Chain A
Amino acid sequence: MPTVKERPKPFVFPEFCKGCGRCIEACPKHCIEIGTEINPATGLIPVVLKLDLCNGCQLCIDACPEPFGLQPQPKELDFELMDPEKMFGEKPTTAPVPYPILDTVIQLPQVDPLVIKGTYASAIGALLAGCRHFFGYPITPSTEGAELMAKLLPDLNGIFVQAVSEVATVNMMYGCSGAGLPCMTFTSSPGFSLMLEGISYMVGAELPAVFVNIMRGGPGLGNIAPEQADIKLACRGLGHGNTHAIVLTPSTPQEMLNLTMLAFELTFKYRNPVVLLGDGYLGQITGKVELPKTMIKPGIPEWAVFGDEMHRRNLICSIFLSEQDLEQHNIHLNDKYASMIEAEQRADLFYCDDADVILIACNTPARMAKGAVEQLRSQGIKAGLFRPITLWPFPIETLKPLLKQAEHLVVVEASAGQLEDEVRLALSNAGIRDYPEISHVQHFGGVLPQQHEIIHTVLSLEEVLS
């Protein structure tokens, strides 16, 4: 026997009707009329249903733009007596509460050291850290890293996407990272500028991703030679709003690999982007690189929007419409920044213990400075090198005890004082008023400070000569 299709008539809670009247024209039987009374709860005039002629065609329901607007009448409940709040269920969602799926640490076969470029070392570091998703836009001098990813990822069932721009790149990363997976890009200064808006969104939405910026000469198109003039952007200017990210500064191909791996660890630890700043030299330089003993197979964090049952209730978002909510969110971010400052300061010291003159340098200029220290020591001058490995947070706690002995600080950098500004700001924020005189060796536009210039500057300091 054929069953008659049940066609319940509609009903609507007046509070949930905005009175738009789409249903009025939709009804072929003219059962619905514009109301005449303002609903005191909404200030709107809901429609009035007169269902004597209604045949349950439900076209009105299809025409109603409100999810809780016109509904089919339930069979058993007396909906007119129901509290609308309770009518639709107590729980907002039936989605389960997610839990983290942890990373797996896998032993690596031991092999001879590789002899590879800095950008390659960084790309290999990313692969070892479990990154199988790369998004990027080619820009010299960072392209080799992306090229290696394009070559290797297909063999690892990974995904390489050459995005239409750096803007698209960072937003593809937002999506992949939102799904809870490790992802990265290689870029260089102008491209990094374009990514900053997206980085701000990622900080706001608390998403992990690794940005390797092989800095080149600026401003503008500048040139493709090494510079360090994005320190300001990375440490102080990651897009709009209250943003910070850990900034790592390697100085050898080996560190390009090690610190890229560390970057992935930290970016997930804090749910915050990490920036790895290299310079054009460091991207291109070939050197000896030892592989680590282990690699990572990443899990899925509990907050991810992965597109499966467990993660259905999650949301990736940087909007907090109410001022109070956004203030709370900023306080939460500030707490994270504070814990990064507390736990993640890193520096490498070279002959600093008894140093009268402390050179401060990072990236390739730190290698020139290291050469200078060695030469100065051979001349009997107590020089040392303080090399920040994190520029943000600046490793001020490591620098502080050295300031008692030191008579001079010499900041060596390929920028017009951006590193020096970080040093001065760190001293000031730490409440250190009494610190040694700060001199500097600076070059710009792709010229790097040379060892002999650093030596010359140190030798010209009065106290050293006296």
Chain B
Amino acid sequence: MSAAFYNKFERHAHGEGLKGHSTHYCPGCGHGLAHKFMAQAIQDLNIQDRTIAISPVGCSVFLYYYMDVGNSQAAHGRAPAVALGHKVANPNSIVISYQGDGDLASIGLAEIMQVAQMGIPITVIFVNNAIYGMTGGQMAPTTLIGQKTATTPHGRTNFAGQPLKMAEVMAQLDGPVYVERVALYDNKQRNRAHKAIHKAIQLQVEGKGFAFVEVLAECPTHLKMTPSQAEEWVRDYMTPIFPLGVKKDLTVEPMWDVKSPDFDPKKLTQLVGGTIESVPKFAKTFPSHIAQHDIALKLAGAGGDGAQTAAMLITKAGINEGYDATHIPSYGPESRGGTSYADVHIADTEVLSPASPNPHILIAFNAPSLAKFGPQVQAGGTIIYDSSVITEPPALHNAAKLVGVPFTEIAADLGKTMVKNIVALGALQAATGIYPQDTFLTAIRQALKDKCAMIPLNEEAFSWGMKAFHGR
């Protein structure tokens, strides 16, 4: 007996009585043979310590009773997903996903397809006996046309679906390197099955790729046959529909090379953007002339106007000054082309409510934004809008200050309309004095630290925005 079996099956009803040394399978069941070939291969390849067997749902759910390897028991159909999780957690482990026909070819189709296409070295042993065993003889995805089962009492028809030929499906995919269908009904087939399972595991040991062995197996109990009749049935009825043989066998080089995870604190800090910049502060006090503790802004325009970037710059500038600040973008379908707006808050200690339903300041990049949000601005607030596109601002029945600055025109004169949001920030600074000029410029330079060539243009845009407000 292979050393990859436990000396005693303690998990089988606590190993009491005969169960300590007998499987739970019915007499003549093919699973026991597939288990033996797998166990023998694990021993012969000297990988018992590295092996993780994934038990499926179905009759072979208790694979873990028997295999003296690491064991993980998966939900119905998900064994390949669980196998993938184990394999990427420890790339040196040898992961064998053992599945029946309902598990792999019905409920778990999506998982087997994805993991096969990923092509990473995992071995799948797929036991196809054309029927559901554990639930009591219902139709499997591999049940033959005409075959009677508990849920096809009159025989399977095309309406119940045609038998799914998984080995051929797998061989069609680009991911797998080796696919073979084998059987168990005589000495020759058993020998082939043993070799195929060995090879499928060996390919994983060599780091070469995904391997799939379909084993045509007997279920005498639900076929209502003797074990010997069941063997004949597999030979005479199953193999014409599920032809035996190698379906795919690529010669490949080892491809599995996964490095150990990195826990270098400096590298991680850098990756997440952590720096020490010692950004100077320019503001003497919180701009309480706009609001005592918490200033609400809204920036609105069409997608591409740069409202979100401007909002981020205001937020970043506030945090540089030691205030708390938040930015919520509008998101979803409308942010991919339609209206785009952002709510920004700046608070001396803590931003409480981050939404700006009634902002102190509105920056409107187009007419619909002004029409929509203009009336919501608080009395005494400021509305700054792009007078290049909004030639006739609507009459607003609130006591907000209305400031038109030609963002687009100025930006176009500078040769790049995309800096119109920076023009708007210049106008914002001039119109409200929310932060000193240098606070804005520092935030802009910070944002452009990887595109230094853009800094002069942006500085100019900002300064023109200020001038345009003063020269109105």
Contacts and interface: CB of A to CB of B under 8 A. Distances in A.
Q: Decide whether A and B assemble into one complex.
A: yes
Interface in A195-223: 197-198, 201, 205, 223
A26 B21 contact: no
B134 interface: no
Interface in A163-197: 163-165, 167-169, 171-181, 183, 197
A168 B61 contact: no
Interface stretch (A154-162, A332-340, A397-405): A154-162
Contact of A307 (B35, B92, B267): B92
B448 interface: no
A176 B89 contact: yes
B70 A157 contact: no
A90 B26 CA distance: 26
Nearest to A148: B272
Interface string B301-343: 0000000000010011001000011111101100000000000
By size class, the interface of chain A is 35 or more
A139 B427 CA distance: 38
Point out which of B23, B29, B191, B331 has the most chain A C-beta atoms below 10 A from its C-beta.
B331
B86 A68 contact: no
Contacts of B75: 171, 174, 197-198, 201
Contact of B7 (A89, A130, A168): A89
Contact of A114 (B32, B226, B272): B272
A419 to B, nearest CB: 18
By size class, the interface of chain B is 35 or more
Contacts of A67: 1-2, 5, 21, 23, 32, 35-36, 39, 66
Contact of A88 (B8, B69, B220): B8
Contacts of B324: 287-288
Given A42-B18, A284-B328, A165 B110 contact: yes
B250 interface: no
A305 interface: yes
B33 interface: yes
Interface string A225-244: 10000000000000000000
A197 B74 CA distance: 12
B129 interface: no
Contact of B71 (A281, A305, A370): A305
Contacts of B50: 307-308
Interface string A70-84: 010000000000001
Contact of B31 (A65, A114, A284, A286): A65
Given A156-B267, A171-B78, A322-B13, A66 B319 contact: no
Interface of B: 1-2, 5-11, 13, 15, 18, 20-23, 25-33, 35-36, 39, 48-52, 54-55, 61, 64, 66, 68-75, 78, 81-90, 92-95, 110-111, 113-114, 186-187, 190-191, 194, 220, 226-228, 231, 258-263, 265-269, 271-277, 279, 294, 312, 315-316, 319, 324-329, 331-332, 351-355, 357
11 contacts: A18-B26, A65-B35, A65-B36, A88-B8, A163-B81, A168-B110, A172-B81, A175-B87, A183-B85, A225-B332, A288-B319
Given A62-B194, A115-B325, A171-B78, 15 more contacts: A16-B21, A20-B227, A26-B187, A63-B187, A63-B190, A67-B36, A108-B269, A141-B332, A176-B88, A179-B86, A179-B93, A288-B325, A306-B90, A315-B11, A317-B55
Interface of A: 13, 15-16, 18-22, 24-26, 41-42, 44, 59, 62-68, 71, 84-85, 88-95, 104, 106-116, 124, 127-128, 130, 132-133, 135, 140-141, 152, 155-159, 161, 163-165, 167-169, 171-181, 183, 197-198, 201, 205, 223-225, 280-281, 284-288, 291, 295, 297, 305-309, 311-312, 314-319, 321-322, 364, 367-368, 370-372, 374, 448, 450-451
